[in-house]
Amino acid sequence: MAATLTGSGIALGFSCSAKFSKRASSSSSRSCIKMSVSVEEKTKNFTLQKSEEAFNAAKNLMPGGVNSPVRAFKSVGGQPVVMDSAKGSRIRDIDGNEYIDYVGSWGPAIIGHADDEVLAALAETMKKGTSFGAPCLLENVLAEMVISAVPSIEMVRFVNSGTEACMGVLRLARAFTGKQKFIKFEGCYHGHANSFLVKAGSGVATLGLPDSPGVPKSATSDTLTAPYNDIAAVEKLFEANKGEIAAIILEPVVGNSGFITPKPEFIDGLRRISKDNGALLIFDEVMTGFRLAYGGAQEYFGITPDLTTLGKIIGGGLPVGAYGGRRDIMEMVAPAGPMYQAGTLSGNPLAMTAGIHTLKRLSQPGTYEYLDKITKELTNGILEAGKKTGHAMCGGYISGMFGFFFTEGPVYDFSDAKKSDTEKFGKFFRGMLEEGVYLAPSQFEAGFTSLAHTSEDIQFTIAAAEKVLSRI
């Protein structure tokens, strides 16, 4: 079966600037040989004994042994890995196994783990205190950087997670429009707030739960859903709920059903329909913000929403979230306006510092060209390995975000994604782990590259993929 490329990210890819050509080039063949030998030794001696012991103990302390469900490896099988440290493009577990990491703490580590400049800045900030519960100047600095970068944001409110950002932005949309209903898309995840846990993809899909127990019907009665990339379904929802819909919220590129890109007419159509019906368009850019481009997916696609949520990268690896948008809407937020939202650790100096120094690095020339180059190389290489070894695969990428499915494809929505051979993905995941490559432990999650990944990392990963695919 052939491997096919899908997704607008392939067609819209950039070429790498000359500035990064040396950085991205492979090391000498001698270095590559050394790496392959060490991997053979690592595979032969691969053990997760300490991880198993720690995880068994954790199951008596925390539900399922984890603090976020996907980490339990339920959809891929095998022993969950307990991590110990990370640096650059590498992550190491408590058994001493080292992996090339394409999870990147689920997105934040875009300049690499434990960046020296970020760590140094955090050390200086910590000398002054870790949290004040009061305004600090660093909030102004990061706010100015976010506002200057993201087209839709004229004012911003910092919070502590993506879930909190989405909770706040939905409340704001309802307050501003005076309407209650909103549209989300099947397979898009906007955090674990009650109203969003309807056909939510991600961890919910991984566990096979259509919804979550404990969510009252009243909490989701105003949640309308449509298939991603289906503009006709959105139009029908507006027709059936005239004057009642406050907002449309979506991941502009889906990362919580695997990697799924929008059809060219889809987000254009959403912008038009929302304007025509007096509804707000919300981009959940917790994952895509500062990853697809410095100004996020809205810069990449040239579509400006009314409101945006952010997270992950803007905290440089520390807990953070944000929502922002048009000034007239944001002035509804307390204390400027009547829509209440607050947070004890919001805008804390450590998260602000890490975010500031991460964005400074990302604003440098050539950053996104380099991410695009290595991610293209990685995605094409894995899909070519699939084709060479006779597996049905499809996938795509945009800048530093990618994904692939074990299905012929193309994949345009969550129903297409669910056609994937998840058992085969589990075998592939476990095989790659033994080869020293750490991928997201679910078919329904996107992957991430970073500025710390080298061409040697990419070539090593492609070789490992071909090796694993040839034996499953």
**Per the omega criterion (within 30 degrees of 0), is the bond before 410 cis?**
yes
Residue 74 falls in the annotated catalytic set: no
Q: Which of 102, 189, 300, 438 is catalytic?
A: 189
Alpha-carbon distance 313 to 318, whole Å? 9
Percent helix, strand and coil across the chain, each to the nearest 5: 45, 15, 40
Tell me the fold of 116-363. Answer: Aspartate Aminotransferase; domain 2 (3.40.640)
pLDDT tens digits, residue range 420-453? 999 999 999 999 999 999 999 999 999 999 999 9
Q: What percent of the chain has pLDDT over 70?
A: 88
Q: Which residue has the tokens 């084709």?
A: 387
Residue type, 97: N
Q: Which of 284, 372, 413, 457 is catalytic?
A: 284
Please name which of 309, 205, 185 lies closest in space to residue 257, comparing C-alpha atoms: 205
Q: Which residue has the tokens 């707000």?
A: 280
Residue type, 433: L
Q: 217-221, 253-257, 361-365 — which is least confidently predicted? A: 217-221
**Cβ 65 vs Cβ 59: under 8 Å:** yes
- Give residue 33's pLDDT: 32
The side-by-side arrangement of strands in the sheet containing 245-250 is 155-159, 321-325, 307-311, 280-284, 245-250, 181-185, 223-226
Q: Average pLDDT of the chain? A: 90
- Give residue 211's pLDDT: 64
Q: pLDDT-derived band of residue 307, with 50, 70 and 90 as boundaries?
A: very high
Burial of 360 from C-beta contacts in 10 A (0-12 / 13-18 / 19+): middle
List beta partners, residue 356.
none
**Cβ 48 vs Cβ 81: under 8 Å:** yes
Distance in angstroms between the alpha carbons of the first and the last residue of the chain: 14
Residue type, 87: K
Please name which of 377, 372, 408 lies closest in space to residue 390, comparing C-alpha atoms: 408
For the segment 131-159, the average pLDDT, to the nearest whole number, is 98
Alpha-carbon distance 123 to 115, whole Å? 12
Q: Is the pLDDT of residue 26 over 80?
A: no
Q: Which of 74, 184, 312, 418 is catalytic?
A: 312
- Name the residue ranges covered by the structural domains of the chain: 49-79, 116-363
For the segment 352-362, the average pLDDT, to the nearest whole number, is 98
| CA angle centred on 254, ends 226 and 200, rounded to 5° | 55
Please name which of 253, 359, 258 lies closest in space to residue 300, comparing C-alpha atoms: 253
Residue 189 falls in the annotated catalytic set: yes
Alpha-carbon distance 330 to 48, whole Å? 49
- Give residue 201's pLDDT: 54
| Sign for the pseudo-dihedral over CA of 156, 157, 163, 169 | negative
pTM equals 0.89
- Give residue 275's pLDDT: 98
Q: Is the pLDDT of residue 4 over 60?
A: no
Higher pLDDT, 199 or 33: 199
Q: Is the pLDDT of residue 299 over 90?
A: yes
Alpha-carbon distance 91 to 86, whole Å? 4
Residue 412 falls in the annotated catalytic set: no
- Give residue 34's pLDDT: 36
**Cβ 86 vs Cβ 453: under 8 Å:** no
For the segment 149-174, the average pLDDT, to the nearest whole number, is 98
- Give residue 18's pLDDT: 30
Residues 108-137 as b/e (b if ≥16 CB within 10 A, e otherwise) read: bbbbbbebeebeebbeebeeeeeeeeeebe
- Give residue 217's pLDDT: 81
pLDDT tens digits, residue range 235-253? 999 999 999 999 999 999 9
Q: 2-16, 134-148, 342-356, 434-448 — which is least confidently predicted? A: 2-16
pLDDT tens digits, residue range 35-74? 443 445 555 689 999 999 999 999 999 999 999 999 999 9
- Give residue 243's pLDDT: 97
